[in-house]
Amino acid sequence: MRTVLIVEDEWAIADWLEVLLGENGYNVLSAGNGREALDILHRETPDLVLTDFMMPFVDGAGLIAAMQEKSATRDIPVVMMTSLLESVVRDRVIGYRAYLRKPFREAELMKIVREILAE
C-alpha cells in the first residue's frame, strides 16, 4: 500500500484529505505543519507528500527545503496545495512536483496523486 503524507494546518481540509485518500486505498499520515511533517519524515518514508504553503512553524517552502537537504527525503515527490498563484509559489520554492490551486476538486487531486505514484 502506498503512503501519502498530508501536511495541512486547516484541520477540516486535512480531515477531508485523510478520508478521501483512505477511501482510495492509500495509507495516510498527517501533519498540522511543516515542523510536524519533518518529525514524521525522520521515522517514515512516504511515497508522496501533499503540502499546504502557508502554515505555522515551518511553511511549505521550508518543508521542501529541509527535505531536499537530506538524501532520505530528497526524492519524495511533493504536491503543493495552496490558494496562492503558482507564479508566487514558483518564486519562493523549487523542487515540488505538482501544483494544485485551492479550492480544488477531488478528481483533480486524485488524478495528480495517481499520475505521480504511477511514475
Partner 1 sequence: MSSESDRFSTGIAGLDTILGGGVFEGGIYIIQGAPGAGKTILGNQICFAQAAQDRHALYITLLAESHARMIGHMRRLAFFEEAAIPDRMSYVGAFKTLEDDGLRGLLEVVRREVRTRKASILVLDGLITVHEKARSDLELKKFIHELQTQAAFSNCTMFLLTSASDAQAFPPEHTMVDGLIELQSSLHGRRAERDLQVHKLRGSWFMGGRHSYRIAASGISVFPRIEALLETPSVWDRADGPVVSFGISGIDAMLGGGVDTHSVTVVLGPSGSGKTTAGLQFLCGGPVDEPAMWFGFHENPMALTIKAEALKLPLKARGDSISLLWRPQTEAILDEVATEMLTAIKARGVKRLVIDGIDGFSKLTDEKSRIGSFLSALCNELRALGVSTLATAETDHAGITPGQPLAGVNQTGLSAVAENIIALHLAALRSETYRLMTVLKSRDRRTDMRMRRFDIAESGIVLESDHHGAENILRDLSRQGAPPPPSPDPKLTGE
- For residue 75, give Cα distances in angstroms to 39, 46, 70: 17, 11, 9
Q: Is 10 in the site for partner 1 (CB under 8 A)?
A: yes
What track of x and - describes contact with partner 1 for positions 33 through 52 (by CB under 8 A)?
--------------------
Contact pick of 5, 32, 80, 96 for partner 1 (by CB under 8 A)? 32
The helix (run of H) or strand (run of E) holding residue 29 is: strand 27-31
Site for partner 1 in 58-97 (CB under 8 A): 59, 83-85, 88, 92
C-alpha cell at 92: 519562493
Beta strand 48-51 with 3-7 is parallel
Question: Binders of partner 1: how many residues, by CB under 8 A?
Answer: 21
Confirm if 82 and 53 have CB atoms less than 8 A apart: yes
Contact pick of 21, 55, 79, 116 for partner 1 (by CB under 8 A)? 55
Helical spans, DSSP H, in 24-77 = 34-43, 60-69, 71-74
Contact pick of 102, 108, 111, 115 for partner 1 (by CB under 8 A)? 102
Q: Of 18 and 47, which CB lies nearer to partner 1 in the complex structure? A: 18
Q: Is 18 in the site for partner 1 (CB under 8 A)?
A: no
State how far the Cα of 8 lies from the Cα of 34, in Å rounded to an integer.
Answer: 8
- Provide the binding-site residues for partner 1, judged by CB under 8 A: 8-14, 32, 53-57, 59, 83-85, 88, 92, 102-103
